[in-house]
A and B are shown apart, each in its own frame.
Chain A
Amino acid sequence: MAKHGLITSSIGKKLIVGTAGLFLMMFLLVHLSINLLLLRNDGGEWFNAASHFMGSNIIVKIFEVVLFGVFFIHIIYTLLLTFKNWASRPVKYFMTNKSQTSFFSKYMFHTGVIIFVFLVFHFWHFFFIKLGFVSPPQGIDSENFYAMASILFNNPVYSIVYIIFFVFLGFHLNHSLQSAFQTLGFNHNLYTPFIKSVSMFCAVFISVGFSVIPVFYLITDK
Chain B
Amino acid sequence: MDFTLKIWRQLDAGSKGKFETYQVTNVSPDSSFFEMLDTLNQQIIDQGEMPVSFDHDCREGICGTCSLFVNGRPHGPDTGITTCQLHMRRFKDGETIVIEPWRAKAFPIVRDLVVDRSAFDKIIQAGGYISVNTGCSPDANAIPIPKRAADLSMDAAACIGCGACVASCKNASAMLFVGAKVAHLGLLPQGKAEASRRVQQMVAEMDSLGFGNCTNMYACEAECPKEINVSTIALMNRGFFMAKIFCEKEEL
Contacts and interface: CB of A to CB of B under 8 A. Distances in A.
A85 B98 contact: no
Given A92-B103, A95-B98, A106-B170, A12 B216 contact: no
Measured as residues with beta carbon below 8 angstroms from the partner, the interface class of chain B is 35 or more
B241 to A, nearest CB: 6
B216 A179 contact: yes
Given A9-B203, A89-B105, A105-B217, A2 B208 contact: yes
Interface in B197-235: 200-201, 203-208, 210-219, 222-223, 230-231, 233-235
A4 B207 CA distance: 9
Q: What secondary structure prevails in chain B residues at the interface with A?
A: mixed
Contact of B244 (A12, A106, A178): A12
Interface stretch (B28-36, B68-76, B81-89): B68-76
A105 B73 CA distance: 18
Contacts of A92: 103
B245 A6 contact: yes
B129 interface: no
Contact of B217 (A6, A87, A96, A102): A102
Most buried by A among B203, B222, B244: B244
Contacts of B106: 88
Given A93-B69, A95-B69, A88 B212 contact: yes
Interface in A70-110: 81, 84-85, 87-102, 105-106, 108
Nearest to B251: A1
Nearest to A4: B204
Interface residues of A, number: 44
B219 A100 contact: yes
B241 A6 contact: yes
Nearest to B219: A99
A186 interface: yes
A96 B212 contact: no
A89 B173 CA distance: 10
A198 to B, nearest CB: 16
Interface string A1-35: 11011100111111100000000000000000000
A10 B71 CA distance: 31
A187 B100 CA distance: 34
A97 B165 CA distance: 12
A88 B207 contact: no
A96 B72 contact: yes
A211 interface: no
Contacts of B212: 84-85, 87-89
A184 interface: yes
Nearest to B252: A1
16 contacts: A1-B201, A1-B205, A11-B241, A14-B214, A85-B171, A95-B69, A98-B72, A99-B72, A101-B217, A101-B218, A179-B216, A182-B237, A183-B214, A185-B235, A185-B239, A189-B231
Closest 4 interchain pairs by CB?
A185-B238, A187-B234, A88-B212, A85-B171
Interface of B: 6, 8, 19, 69, 71-74, 98, 100, 103-106, 168, 170-173, 200-201, 203-208, 210-219, 222-223, 230-231, 233-241, 244-245, 252
Interface of A: 1-2, 4-6, 9-15, 81, 84-85, 87-102, 105-106, 108, 175, 178-179, 182-187, 189
